């Protein structure tokens, strides 16, 4: 698939595990503004490949919330569940190049071995009749990339993850493989997302190299956490924004207190469309705090109080 050259193409890829919360809205807003400020395209993909975690109707609620806040996307919404042939083709290419092997290790067996897979199944005979995952071999050495906000980031995969899973034993394609295949198919030029995914990037770069795919640029913005240091999520009690009126509160506070922009006071009672119009024209990604976490007190969504950065 070919795409127009020199056109910025960004994306927002939520998982339908619940309603859109403040942390997701803030990330979507930053990604949207970066794309629109460059006259580029902005896409939405629903990352529903991990079916056991997906909730019925969550995708619809997420999309409606984005629309209510004026975050309108280009083209049609992409669903990972529609892309299984794409992932199979990527897996086949890794297999043809001798980069995969089946792994029968259970989570219980791996307890206490650390974060890096010890490679127990790497040299074993292939018995595909036994339930197994598929792991991709990593290479020695360090993967280094330049993040637009966080600066240079390096990671030795052999030490941090070891050979990692690209196809799970429950027959679900792993996140790392799916996002690499999808971002390439959509021609994404820059991936702007939260710092909670920063450590995943070297594994994705490794897959891009094995599949001979051009790498996108990366920009990881601070992830929002609660006072206990937990990422805002449904599991940690982050309030949904679905039931909030799409007034200026959440957008203005995200711009001012989380994204380091400086919206004028006259936008206080403006509709989302007017706020976004100003934000696109005045967007400065350099204003985002250069840190990995921002702790907030989300007592009520419109009244965000930053307590540390």
**Helical H segments across 97-244, by residue range:** 107-110, 157-160, 175-185, 201-210
Give bridge partners of residue 303 from the DSSP assignment: 300
The pLDDT tens digits of the residues spanning 28-70 come to 999 999 999 999 999 999 999 999 999 999 999 999 999 999 9
Of 211, 232, 289, whose CA–CA distance to 256 is shortest? 289
At 213, is the pLDDT very low, low, confident or very high (cuts 50, 70, 90)? very high
Q: What is the pLDDT of residue 299?
A: 52
Residue spans of the domains in the chain: they are: 9-80+186-308, 84-177
Give yes or no for residue 107 having a pLDDT over 90. Answer: no
Query: What percent of the chain shows pLDDT beyond 70?
Result: 87
- Tell me whether domains 9-80+186-308 and 84-177 share a fold: yes
Lowest mean pLDDT among 105-114, 211-220, 239-248: 239-248
Query: Does residue 245 or residue 91 have the better pLDDT?
Result: 91
| Averaged pLDDT, 88-103 | 96
Instruction: Give yes or no for residue 233 having a pLDDT over 70.
Output: no
Q: Per residue in 250-273, pLDDT tens?
A: 888 889 888 999 999 889 888 899
Task: Report d(CA 216, CA 13) in Å as an integer.
Answer: 15
Please tell me the predicted confidence (pLDDT) of residue 242.
Answer: 53
Rounded to an integer, the average pLDDT of 217-238 is 78
Residue 129 is predicted with a pLDDT of 72
Q: Which CATH superfamily is domain 9-80+186-308 in?
A: HUPs (3.40.50.620)
- Residue 23's pLDDT band, with cuts at 50, 70 and 90, is confident
**What torsion, rounded to 10 degrees, do the Cα atoms 68, 74, 80, 86 define?**
180
Q: By the 8 A CB rule, do 237 and 224 touch?
A: no
Average pLDDT of the segment spanning 147-167? 96
Check whether domain 84-177 has CATH 3.40.50.620, yes or no: yes
């Amino acid at each position: 698939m070919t795409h127009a050259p020199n056109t910025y193409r960004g994306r927002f890829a939520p998982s339908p595990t619940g309603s859109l919360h403040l942390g997701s809205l803030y990330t979507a807003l930053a990604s949207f503004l970066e794309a629109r400020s460059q006259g580029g395209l902005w896409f939405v993909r629903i990352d529903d490949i991990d079916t056991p975690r997906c909730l019925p109707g969550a995708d619809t609620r997420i999309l409606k919330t984005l629309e209510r806040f004026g975050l309108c996307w280009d083209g049609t919404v992409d669903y990972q569940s529609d892309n299984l042939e794409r992932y199979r083709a990527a897996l086949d290419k890794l297999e043809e190049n001798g980069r995969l092997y089946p792994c029968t290790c259970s989570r219980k067996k791996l307890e206490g071995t650390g974060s890096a897979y010890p490679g127990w199944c790497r040299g074993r005979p292939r018995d595909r009749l036994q339930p197994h995952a598929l792991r991709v071999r990593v290479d020695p050495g360090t993967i280094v990339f330049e993040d637009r906000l966080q600066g240079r980031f390096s990671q030795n995969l052999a030490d941090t993850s070891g050979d990692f899973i690209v196809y799970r034993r429950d027959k679900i394609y792993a996140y790392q493989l799916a996002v690499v295949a999808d971002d390439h198919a959509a021609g994404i030029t820059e991936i702007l997302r939260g710092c909670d995914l920063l450590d995943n990037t070297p594994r994705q770069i490794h897959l891009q190299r094995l599949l001979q795919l051009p790498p996108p640029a990366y920009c990881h913005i601070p992830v929002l956490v609660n006072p206990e240091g937990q990422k805002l999520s449904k599991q940690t009690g982050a309030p949904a924004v679905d039931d909030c009126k799409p007034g200026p509160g959440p957008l203005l506070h995200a711009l001012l207190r989380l994204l380091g922009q400086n919206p004028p006071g006259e936008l206080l009672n403006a509709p989302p469309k007017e706020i976004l119009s100003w934000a696109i024209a005045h967007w400065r990604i350099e204003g985002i705090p250069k840190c990995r976490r921002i702790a907030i007190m989300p007592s009520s969504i419109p009244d965000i109080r930053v307590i540390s950065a």
